[in-house]
Amino acid sequence: MAASTAPVAGTHSTAAELKAARVTVASPGERFRAEILRALDAFRQKGLDRPEAVRALFPRTVLPESTYEDLIAALVSGAHVLFFGPSGAGKTSLAKDLWSLFPKGVWTVDGCPVLDHPLSIVDPAVAAVYPACPICERRFAPGGDATRFDPATVDPTRVPASYVLLREGYGYARLQGSSEVFPDHLTGNINLRKLEEVGDPMSPLVFEPGKLLQANRGFLLVDEIGKLPLGTQNVLLQALQEGTVTPSKSRESFPGLFVAVCTSNLSDLDNINDPLSDRLTSLHIGYNERHADNRRIVALGRSDDPTEYVPEILTDAGVRVIEAWRLRMSEDNPDIGEVGSNRTLLDVAARTAAISVLAGHAIPTSADLKAGLVHAMRGRIRARSGDSFRQNEKRVADFIDQYLEPSLKRSAGVYWCRFYRGPLRESASDAQAMIGEGRRLRDDAELRAKATGDASLFPQFRSFVRFVTDREKPPTAVAPFDVGANIFRLLEEYSLFTCKDEDDDDAPL
């Protein structure tokens, strides 16, 4: 049982064996710091540079490099963090990535509801920093008298230990902020069955741990912390200040040591009391300004369902419309603040695919994209009254009418430029040959089927089909030449097969 080798979950031992193996005890923040540094070093060993290694820590979020750097510095320093920003910017997703990264394996006292470390029971030096909970004090005190508990006198062979993986309710707790979350939700309540056995309502033995105690030795996620009542915020403040939780229905305090990650929308920031805010490192999580980052968000969000095929030009144009909305509309407006959110980015592609299926289209069209944008953006309007909803609905529809076609033209232009500068190597004659072949094949399904079976036919368009299928990875149910013909139609309608120097994938619309 070497201290440097992590045991298998479910391994049983005793405090005596852990002492003999010189197992160390660390706070959740110290364990998180060590895991972050270990992971970064592992990524660098694989050849990633620092920015790539930092980004690799967060596989499900896409944020600016500076945001990741600020977050890593805060966590390595041992800070608790508050993510604030507009709704739908990825705050909760980032918090979930942190929980995924958080080290899960810990030694615990068998049967302890708040996961005391076994050495807290038998080692005075450890107990001075990480005190045992009142339940374990009674369990290992002579005659069950907590006043006689002394770690120096507890027989370590009598303290059973288990190596467990933290999970929800045991080292991980998530709290959704609202005005109805009272202090007892955080501290805990009396278990009536245990009360019948013990008889004393003030005894810690009758206590059922709340969210803060469930998070002990692990990770606490508080969504929308600004929606918590001030009394509830004060309970959290005590835990962050002292590492302890004092339930109102108990005479004694419990350990409450964890890494806290909180989120807040902009409108709720003023509701967070100053002492609690001072205990949190604030990090702004906004929408990505780089077009390529927003495209990555859509790609990550749709990776779980590759059967929902939307042509890249349409996906890209949908992203550009949402980016244009963000530039021109206030994210502080509560009625339309989420119309430009990352959730809407994902909805646009999903709705476009769904509308295409309902319309019987094998491949989504630009009309399907327009309907998908209307559905996705309209669906994010907050309905406060019929009149305001209709006004905002018209605002969305007018915006799409204004910005969809320019977005399609830019997206098609970028797509054509990549083919023209890539496989065609900027050969104007090869481009004209491809365009001529494409126009013959565009609306002739029988000719496309013939070309599919004869590799000598339409060589320039065939290279275009390879380019398209390599980029788009369409479903196998759709013939490659049909996919190529569909993209060709979009290019013919929107790019006019011109490649301008200003066609930059990251250029704002």
Report residue 4's pLDDT band, with 50, 70 and 90 as the boundaries. low
Task: Indicate if the pLDDT at residue 2 is higher than 90.
Answer: no
Is residue 272 located within the same domain as residue 310? Answer: no
Residue-wise pLDDT tens digits, 70-108: 999 999 999 999 999 988 899 999 999 999 999 999 999
Report residue 331's pLDDT band, with 50, 70 and 90 as the boundaries. low
- Backbone φ, ψ for residue 121 (5° rounding): -90, -25
Is 500 a member of any domain?
A: no
Q: Which of 241, 267, 283 is the last residue of a domain?
A: 283
Q: How far apart are CA 211 and CA 189, in angstroms?
A: 11
Q: Which of 243, 264, 283 is the last residue of a domain?
A: 283
Give the CB-side neighbour count of residue 223, counting CA atoms within 13 A: 14
Is residue 64 located within the same domain as residue 196? Answer: yes
- Backbone φ, ψ for residue 449 (5° rounding): -65, -40
Q: How far apart are CA 505 and CA 321, in angstroms?
A: 14
* Between residues 125 and 305, the one the model is more confident about: 125
Give the CB-side neighbour count of residue 35, counting CA atoms within 13 A: 19
Is residue 337 located within the same domain as residue 265? Answer: no
- Buried/exposed 402-439: b ≥16 CB within 10 Å, e otherwise: ebbeebbbbbbbbbbbbbbeebbeeeeebbebbbebbe
Q: What is the pLDDT of residue 58?
A: 93
Domain of 173 in residue numbering reads as: 12-283
User: Residue 167 is part of a domain; what is its CATH number?
Assistant: 3.40.50.300
Is residue 279 located within the same domain as residue 325? Answer: no
Q: What is the pLDDT of the chain when averaged over all its residues?
A: 90
Is 4 a member of any domain?
A: no
Is residue 469 located within the same domain as residue 423? Answer: yes
Is residue 270 located within the same domain as residue 296? Answer: no
Is residue 47 located within the same domain as residue 80? Answer: yes
Report residue 8's pLDDT band, with 50, 70 and 90 as the boundaries. very high
Is 69 a member of any domain?
A: yes
Q: Which of 283, 318, 338 is the last residue of a domain?
A: 283
Give the count of domains, the chain: 2
Report residue 334's pLDDT band, with 50, 70 and 90 as the boundaries. confident
Residue-wise pLDDT tens digits, 170-184: 999 999 999 999 998
Is 207 a member of any domain?
A: yes
CB 200 within 8 A of CB 242: no
Q: How far apart are CA 506 and CA 102, in angstroms?
A: 34
Is residue 369 located within the same domain as residue 418? Answer: yes
Is residue 427 located within the same domain as residue 443? Answer: yes
Q: Which of 190, 193, 184 is nearest to 207 (CA)?
A: 190
Is 340 a member of any domain?
A: yes
Q: Which of 443, 438, 498 is nearest to 463 (CA)?
A: 438
Report residue 325's pLDDT band, with 50, 70 and 90 as the boundaries. very high
Is 337 a member of any domain?
A: yes
Is residue 69 located within the same domain as residue 42? Answer: yes
* Least confident residue range of 19-23, 167-171, 498-502: 498-502
Is residue 321 located within the same domain as residue 255? Answer: no
Residue-wise pLDDT tens digits, 257-289: 999 999 999 889 999 999 999 999 999 999 998
Is 107 a member of any domain?
A: yes
Residue-wise pLDDT tens digits, 115-130: 999 999 999 999 999 9
Is residue 133 located within the same domain as residue 156? Answer: yes
Other C-beta atoms closer than 10 Å to the C-beta of 507 total 11
Is 499 a member of any domain?
A: no
Q: What is the pLDDT of residue 3?
A: 45
pTM: 0.86
Task: Indicate if the pLDDT at residue 191 is higher than 70.
Answer: no
CB 386 within 8 A of CB 476: no
